[in-house]
Amino acid sequence: MGNLQEGLDMISIASDRPTVRIAAPGADRAGHAGTAGSTDGPGGPPAVVELDRVSVFYGDHEAVRETSMPIRQRRVTALIGPSGCGKSTILRTMNRMNDLIPSARVTGRVSYHGQDLYAPEVDPIEVRRRIGMVFQKPNPFPKSIYDNVAYGPRVTGMKVGNMDDHVEQALRGAALWDEVKGKLRSNGLALSGGQQQRLCIARTIAVRPEVILMDEPCSALDPIATGRIEELMHELAQHYTIVIVTHNMQQAARVSHYTAFFTAEVDAAGVRHGKLVELNDTGKLFTDPDDKRTEDYITGRFG
């Protein structure tokens, strides 16, 4: 664990960076607190990302309806719920990945340190640098391990003192350095599935984000590799804010500080849409949820 901690300390310590607004200078809008609960209360960690009455449409279909929730700094927030309830859709609103879907439209407000991420002056590329993403299936580039990690800093023009050191720090931060330090010029696709996913995590943290979004990062991995990723999430949460979508309720209970339960409902017009039911401290949500629908889901009565 010493090498991992060293890598994290060197690559990105959020508290050592000033809060940076994404929009042009002078933009300073106060964020709206989400309506969902949190046991941190007003004295707890501040919200890095906040969703206020966020709805997502694909064409005329409202896929997710009026979601409001805070994402707390240096905490792991898990999004759980049955298939089709909008977990991944909501996750993608946080770094504007839905922009890549021509029919997608987002209403409401998604803010990062109070800045509206969907304001016209905001560059979505800069949003995705500050709020990185790790996908369900490992997707390393068909390049060397070294070039996979160095790619982001190079294409964004990020200033690094020494690229070799920077790559090493990112790989240490992803708990991968000791396994690949002798084969950095080997193709990243030659790694095992679990190693490829940690390489993708190293590629993400190499551009020094503050938030890491993970869309079912362990669904394609074996139990041993899953355990490594979960252990890594505990370490990463000391320095990064993490949001994870998972179908595995046991995983949510193991890795997260907060859990948000989404469900799919059919409205009076017969239209199905996703809806946030409850956001709560993970321990409370799994033992004493506030909403009967949450209890029914986690006890296996539906879903």
- Give the per-residue pLDDT at 44: 63
Strands of the sheet containing 61-72, edge to edge, are 115-116, 104-112, 47-58, 61-72, 272-281, 258-266, 76-80, 241-245, 211-215, 131-134
CA 253 remoteness from chain centre: 16
Q: What is the pTM of this model?
A: 0.84
Write the class of the CATH domain 2-298: alpha beta
Sequential pLDDT tens for the chain (303 residues): 455 544 544 444 333 333 334 433 233 322 223 333 344 555 468 999 999 999 999 999 999 999 999 999 999 999 999 998 999 999 999 999 999 999 999 999 999 999 999 999 999 999 999 999 999 999 999 999 999 999 999 998 899 989 999 999 999 999 999 999 999 999 999 999 999 999 999 999 999 999 999 999 999 899 999 999 999 999 999 999 999 999 999 999 999 999 999 999 988 888 889 999 999 999 999 999 999 999 999 998 875
Would you kindly state where each structural domain of the chain is located, as residue ranges? 2-298
- By the 8 A CB rule, do 49 and 131 touch? yes
